Amino acid sequence: MPLDPFFDERLRTHRKYLIDRALGNVRARLTALWPFARSAGPAAVAAAEKAPAAAVKSADLPAPTGTGTPQAGSGPALGPRSRARAKHRKAALAWDRRELKTVGTPGPKVRATEHRLAPDGAPPFRVRIYYPEPPRDGGSDGTDARPVPAALTFFGGAFRIGGIDYPTTDAAHRRRALDAGVAIVAVDYALAPEHRYPVPVEQAYAALTWLFAQAPDLGIDAARIGVAGTSAGANIAAALTLANRDRAARPLLLQVLEVPVVDLTGRSLDLSATRALRIPSLIALRELRSVARTYLADPRQAREAYASPLLASSHEGLPPAVILTAEYDPLRGDGDAYGAALRRAGVDASVVRYQGVTHDTPIFTGVLPAARRWHEDVVTALRRLHA
């Protein structure tokens, strides 16, 4: 199916960004090899790492307030690479704020609580719970109400940008909580490269352990809990189902994985999707592999099950899965392969591909019918937690 016309200008911007970035890296490498050239210096480092705000979201977004982001005045002076990352994250947040205003849908007012977890062996992080009800008057925390199902969720952002404070992420959590009647438990996991694999997976496991232990006090039904994630967040969610099965076998009822990356070796990518957008495969592959290089301390870790859930030796005993992919997204290959692997292991799994759209479709609910249908399908999946 042809690409939806909504994406035409965005595609031109993104294609130019990818090509300019590739050429910039080639020039930087040649400069470094030239024996009579001056050192590239901080300016070159920053130029190599920055991305135009309009192109940032195509790798998927979330907020710079995440635990992986250094805060001003909170530590030693930042080096050139750290400054470049901070600038990139700031631009991504500003871009996301504009996107919500122009092409998104504001989130409704719902009751929300925030909690800080400090697990052993992992950095502290925040968890925000969005309840499927309006804010309460009189300061009641609502724990006297009937317990509700919950979905532990993980934002996207290529492991290196994002957070639960991103406007489009926050709005989506609010809409989904209210429409599905499910508490959305959003994890503000640490970002790479400040905190690499397996830190986010361990934080995810700590959040799941906490959620089950504290469910009665939180007004959540421990018998009706699932997990969900988008892009890099779907990687973490899928890894969490494996870790849970291997360590504790807590009863998870569902996993909802949106445009998941589940194979960091890159072998499952479907580059025909990027070729259809007239993006050279070499450039697209380089950009996608940079995500793995940022997240993993050692390339060999890409073969580990908690880094690449598709490569797990067994997928038996995992919760039923609903997987959503986009036609013009090379990660559609990951989604297809993971759905097939789950079904081979006897897991109830469905894979739905949305035609004519791209990786970041879910945020465009204000202008794109496919995005609104995407939201409705996620809500339908989450309602399975009421069973």
pLDDT score recorded for residue 387: 85
- Residue 264 scores a pLDDT above 70: yes
Place of tokens 């301390």: 297
Does residue 329 have an active-site annotation?
yes
The lowest-confidence range among 1-10, 43-52, 123-132, 378-387 is 43-52
Instruction: Compute the average pLDDT of residues 282-286.
Output: 86
- β-pair type (183-188, 220-230): unpaired
Return the CATH number at 220.
3.40.50.1820
Per DSSP, the residues of 349-370 read EEEEEEEEEETTGGG-TTT-HH
Q: Tell me how crowded residue 373 is: count the other CB atoms within 10 A of its CB.
A: 15
Instruction: Compute the average pLDDT of residues 118-133.
Output: 96
pLDDT score recorded for residue 275: 93
Instruction: Compute the average pLDDT of residues 275-304.
Output: 92
pLDDT score recorded for residue 20: 79
pLDDT band at 382 (very low <50, low <70, confident <90, very high): very high
Percent of the chain with pLDDT over 70: 84
What is the residue-averaged pLDDT of the chain? 88
pLDDT score recorded for residue 62: 31
Instruction: Compute the average pLDDT of residues 76-103.
Output: 90
Which pair of tokens denotes residue 219? 């007004």
| Reported pTM | 0.87
H helix or E strand, kind and range, residue 30: helix 8-33
pLDDT in tens, 208-228: 999 999 999 999 999 999 999
pLDDT in tens, 314-369: 999 999 999 999 999 999 999 999 999 999 999 999 999 999 999 999 999 999 99
Q: Which of 231, 263, 308, 334 is catalytic?
A: 231
Percent of the chain with pLDDT over 90: 74
Phi, psi (degrees; rounded to nearest 5) at 365: -65, -15
The rounded distance, in Å, linking the Cα atoms of 323 and 317 is 17
Of 207, 236, 215, 320, whose CA–CA distance to 62 is shortest? Answer: 236
Does residue 115 have an active-site annotation?
no
Tell me if 273 sits within 8 A of 328, measured CB to CB. Answer: yes
Instruction: Compute the average pLDDT of residues 63-84.
Output: 54
Q: Tell me how crowded residue 364 is: count the other CB atoms within 10 A of its CB.
A: 25
Q: Which of 263, 359, 360, 375 is catalytic?
A: 359
Instruction: Compute the average pLDDT of residues 32-54.
Output: 45
Instruction: Compute the average pLDDT of residues 284-309.
Output: 94
Handedness of CA 178, 57, 76, 120 (dihedral sign): positive
Q: Tell me how crowded residue 377 is: count the other CB atoms within 10 A of its CB.
A: 16
Q: Which of 170, 263, 329, 360 is catalytic?
A: 329
Q: Which domain holds residue 231?
A: 5-69+78-386
pLDDT in tens, 148-196: 999 999 999 999 999 999 999 999 999 999 999 999 999 999 999 999 9
pLDDT band at 136 (very low <50, low <70, confident <90, very high): confident
pLDDT score recorded for residue 69: 38
The rounded distance, in Å, linking the Cα atoms of 26 and 100 is 35
pLDDT score recorded for residue 13: 83
Residues in contact with 159: Cβ distance below 8 Å, sequence separation at least 6, in sequence order = 191, 192, 200, 232, 235, 291, 294, 295
Does residue 359 have an active-site annotation?
yes
- Residue 73 scores a pLDDT above 60: no
Instruction: Compute the average pLDDT of residues 101-129.
Output: 97
Domain count, the chain: 1
The lowest-confidence range among 2-11, 108-117, 140-149, 174-183 is 140-149
